[in-house]
Each structure stands twice: as C-alpha cells, then as structure tokens.
Amino acid sequence: MNEALAQRISDDLLRPVVTTTWKFWLLVAVLGSIVAMGLGTWFYQMYMGFGLTGINMPVYWAFYITNFVFWIGISHAGTLISAILRLVNAGWRRPVTRCAEVITVFALMIGALFPIIHLGRPWLFFWLVPYPSERLIWPNFRSPLVWDFFAINTYLTGSLLFLLLPMIPDFALVRDKTTGWRKKLYSVLALRWQGTTKQWHRLESAMQIMAIAIIPVAVSVHSIVSFDFSMAVVPLWHSTIFAPYFVTGAIFSGIAALILAMATLRKVLHLEEYLHPVHFQNLGKLLLMMSLLWTYFVFAERLTAWYGNEPSEVEALIVTQSGSFAPLYWTMVVCNFVVPFVILSLRKLRTITGCVIASSTVLVGMWLERFLIVVPSLSHKYLPYTWGHYRPRPVEIIITISTFAAMMLLYTLFAKLVPIISIWELKVGEHPVAAGKAAELREHPLWKANP
C-alpha cells in the first residue's frame, strides 16, 4: 500500500493517544467523581445494612439484578459481533471491531460487579469460587448463580484476550511513533513484537479460533443469565423461551450501545474519515432486525401466557400491561419497537442521527424490559396475600447512575491509552490487490509448493 496513506492513518488514529486537552481531564474528573460517589454509596450500604435499598418481601431482586442483566446484555455487542464479522470476513468491520470489543470487556466487568453489590454479605462473594477451602464445602453446581460465575469467567477471559491480542501490533506502532515515557510504556506493552510473517500468521489463526470459540460462549452467557429466572417456578419466569429471548435482547441492546459509542467517538475524536455513514447504515439495519426479532419473542411469550390462562401468570401479565407497571411497559414498547422500526426502516431516516436516536431509545427500552421481567413477577407471585410493591431508594439510583459513568470513564481512559481503531487491521483493508498480479503469483512455483 501507499506509504503516505499509511502515514496518515497512523497519524489520525494516534492523535487521540498523544494529544490531551483540558476537556479530557475535565471529563475524567466529572466521571471519576460520579464513580467515586457510587463506590462510597456502596460502602455506605454495606455499613448500614441492605435495608437502605427498596428491596422487600416479596421483591427480593430489583434494580441491581436489572442492572446485572442489562450490562451483561450490553456486553453482547462487541466480541460477538466482531467475531461474526471476522468469520464472514466483512470488510466494513475493520474500524468497528476494537471499539466494539472494548464495550464487551468493560460492560462485563461492570455487569459482573452487580451480583456482588446485590449480595447480603458481599464480602463473602468468593464462596462461589471452587477452591479447596477449610470449610470443606464446594459451590453448589446445581445453582444457576454458579453457572453464571463460570460463564462470565469464561466470557470475560475470552473477550479480554480477544481484545488484547490484536492490540499488540498497535502497541508496537505506538512504541515506534512516540518518545519519552510513552515510548517506555508501550515498549513494555508491545512485548517485543516484530511483525514477522510468522507472527502475523499465528496471530490471525489464533484470532480465527478465538472468534469461533467466543460465539457459543457469548450465547451461553446470556442463556445462563436467563436461566437465573427461568429455573425458578415464578409466574412468567418459568418459560422455555427465555434463553433465546434474552440472547436476542442482549444483542439488540449491545448493538445500540455500539452505535452510540461509535457516534460519540466519531464526533469527539474526529474519526469522520474512518467511521463512515455506511457503518451506521449497516449497524442500523442489524438493529432493526434485532428489534423485529425482539418484538417477535415478546409477542410469542405474551400470547402463550395470555392464552394459557394460568391464573398466576395472567395476573403478572395484567399487572405489567394494564396495571401499575403499564406506563413503563408501554414506554418499553415504544422505545424498543415503534421508534426503531419507524426510524430504521425508512432509508431517509436511517442516518447517523437517526441511528443514534433509535439506539438511545433502545437502551432505555431494554433497561425497562429487564426491570419488567424482574419486578412484576416477584411482586405478584402465587399467594395474593403476599403481593407487594417496589420503589427504588436513593442508594440504588446512585449506584445505577454511577455504573453508567464508570462505563464512560473506562471507555474514555481506554481511548486515551490505546488507538480505538485497530490501525493495522485498517491498513490491511486498504490493500490494493491487482487482480492480474494475484493470478500471476499463483503461477509462482514456490506458491504452488507452499500455498
């Protein structure tokens, strides 16, 4: 490829890493203080007792579990989409993969924190880890929460490595292009990467295998999150449709998060020449498809419960659709179906702005969806005498908000430390392959011997 073009790609994509303005520090300070407030609130909740939350009998799970499902769902954009696009070798994936995979890693870290935040005794969370302890007791492998532990562990390890491996050549690039402390830092991170043909081949084969492995793991993770609900005999939870329904919702909300992240990066880091309207067009179409799939699942679930006419299920159904949860329910339908359907199915509206609007409503709608799965069923279980209500208390709201800030903070710091678009992968995409030359090469005797 042309060296001047390579030079420009490197310069454009390195600029956010090497130049820092006061705006960055201001953003970090604001987000950092919100995160600190959230952490402080969590410690306050631990010190004072879990009663500071709005949790009660019978609604023993609420905001924290909603956030858990929501964030694990968000994590399904990145690695999963990037892996699929890698396997089908979609050329337009190149500028998208890394900023997507980062979402996965950070959303998983935040999501995995919530089951710990929600514990009555969070300081004992390590009892879920299988290790030979002095207590002589192991985790109960029959419990879906232990499945969660294993699934999230595998998914986090896999997607972290999936993110880190292609970063090594870019670290080498930053090492060569910078001076001072940065050079020292990135020299360590680059792990003496050379870029020999052998290394490139090994890296690409490894990424191929990782892509194949990570797809079933991602599907299993959200299926297992759905099992947390569907294993319990609770009205509307105990449903065979939950696993694919949750996976669909997860990918749906994940794509929305990815579109928002890309639009922000494009604007803030001036990556207009790398993140094109066509990327948003394509992701917008994917979002539309997931919206329709999600609607189909909701319809199938609701219809079955309504037609089956089992009293406790119908009660939970009615309280969601026309009872006290109705405003939230219909907001969800508008956010997840009406708005994305209208915006994304009309080509004129499927612009970057259109995609951003649809994605924002989808995130709101999907958060509500998780809330409406968790709370109405618990508040209307079988015995009417024990029906209850739930209202969030300040600690839950603060901690919820602070995790959104934590996501933005981690993303900002990452984009400052690492080129957010994979530079080497982008350069590969720019390769001009003259058709004649390729044919000529195939006639080369050594190629024939060693294709």
Partner 1 sequence: MPHRWGMAVDLDRCTGCGACVTACHAENNIPTVGDSQAARGRAMHWIRVERYWEGEYPDVTLKFRPVMCQQCDAAPCEPVCPTYASHHTDEGLNAQIYNRCIGTRYCANACPYNVRFFDFFHPQWPKPLDAQLNPDVSVREVGVMEKCTFCVQRIHAAAIDAKAANRELKDGEIQPACVQSCSAKALVFGDLNDPESEVSKLSRSDRGHKLLDDLGTLPKVTYLNRPQA
Partner 2 sequence: MKAVYALYSDPDDVQRAVDGLRKAGIADDDITVISSEPIEEYEFSHRHRATWIHWIAGGGGAIGLALGTWLTSFTERAWPIPTGNMPIVAWWPNLIIMFEMTMLGAILATVITLLITARIPARTPKMYDPEVTDGKILVGVENPNEGSVSAIERALMSPGVARLKTIQL
Neighbouring residues of 301: CB distance < 8 A, sequence distance ≥ 6: 236, 239, 241, 245
Kindly indicate which of the ranges 133-141, 242-250, 331-339, 390-398 contains the residues binding partner 2, using the contact rule CB under 8 A.
133-141
Compute, in degrees rounded to 10, the torsion defined by CA atoms 359, 364, 367, 370: -90
Neighbouring residues of 246: CB distance < 8 A, sequence distance ≥ 6: 69, 73, 222, 223, 225, 226
Q: How many residues belong to the site for partner 2 (CB under 8 A)?
A: 68
C-alpha 398: how far from its chain's center?
Answer: 21
Q: Which of residues 146-205 bind partner 1 (CB under 8 A)?
A: 146, 149
Q: How far is the CB of 224 from partner 1 (least distance, A)?
A: 13
Question: Considering CB distances under 5 to 8 angstroms, the limit depending on partner class, which of partner 1, partner 2, none binds residue 184?
Answer: none
C-alpha 299: how far from its chain's center?
Answer: 25
The amino acid sitting at 142 is: R
Decide: is 120 part of the binding site for partner 1 (CB under 8 A).
Answer: yes
Given candidates 28, 52, 206, 300, which one binds partner 2 under the rule CB under 8 A? 206
Decide: is 130 part of the binding site for partner 2 (CB under 8 A).
Answer: yes
Of the pair 132, 451, the CB lying nearest partner 1 is at: 132
Neighbouring residues of 423: CB distance < 8 A, sequence distance ≥ 6: 9, 10, 13, 14, 170, 173
Compute, in degrees rounded to 10, the torsion defined by CA atoms 392, 398, 404, 406: -140
Q: CA-CA distance, 100 to 107, in Å (whole number)?
A: 11
Q: CA-CA distance, 392 to 269, in Å (whole number)?
A: 37
Place of tokens 């939870």: 237
Decide: is 393 part of the binding site for partner 2 (CB under 8 A).
Answer: no
Q: Which of residues 236-255 bind partner 1 (CB under 8 A)?
A: none
Of the pair 26, 232, the CB lying nearest partner 1 is at: 232
Decide: is 385 part of the binding site for partner 1 (CB under 8 A).
Answer: yes
Decide: is 251 part of the binding site for partner 2 (CB under 8 A).
Answer: no
Q: Which of residues 177-196 bind partner 2 (CB under 8 A)?
A: 177, 191-196
The candidate with the shortest Cα–Cα distance to 236, out of 76, 72, 369, is: 369
Q: CA-CA distance, 431 to 111, in Å (whole number)?
A: 39
Decide: is 16 part of the binding site for partner 1 (CB under 8 A).
Answer: no
Neighbouring residues of 335: CB distance < 8 A, sequence distance ≥ 6: 361, 362, 364, 365, 366, 368
Neighbouring residues of 268: CB distance < 8 A, sequence distance ≥ 6: none
Could you give the string, one character per residue 203-232, with x where binding to partner 1 holds by CB under 8 A and - elsewhere? -------------------------x--xx
The amino acid sitting at 413 is: L
Decide: is 435 part of the binding site for partner 2 (CB under 8 A).
Answer: no
Given candidates 42, 61, 106, 114, which one binds partner 1 under the rule CB under 8 A? 61
Decide: is 217 part of the binding site for partner 2 (CB under 8 A).
Answer: yes
Decide: is 124 part of the binding site for partner 1 (CB under 8 A).
Answer: yes
Is 421 in contact with 92 (CB distance < 8 Å)?
no
Given candidates 84, 203, 328, 398, which one binds partner 2 under the rule CB under 8 A? 203
Site residues for partner 1 per CB under 8 A: 48-51, 54-61, 115, 118-122, 124-125, 127-128, 137, 139-140, 142-146, 149, 228, 231-234, 378, 381-386, 388-389
Site residues for partner 2 per CB under 8 A: 1-3, 6-7, 10, 130, 136-143, 146-147, 150-151, 153-154, 157-158, 161, 165, 168-169, 172-173, 176-177, 191-206, 209-210, 213-214, 216-217, 220, 224, 424, 427-428, 431, 433, 437-438, 441, 444, 446-447, 450-451
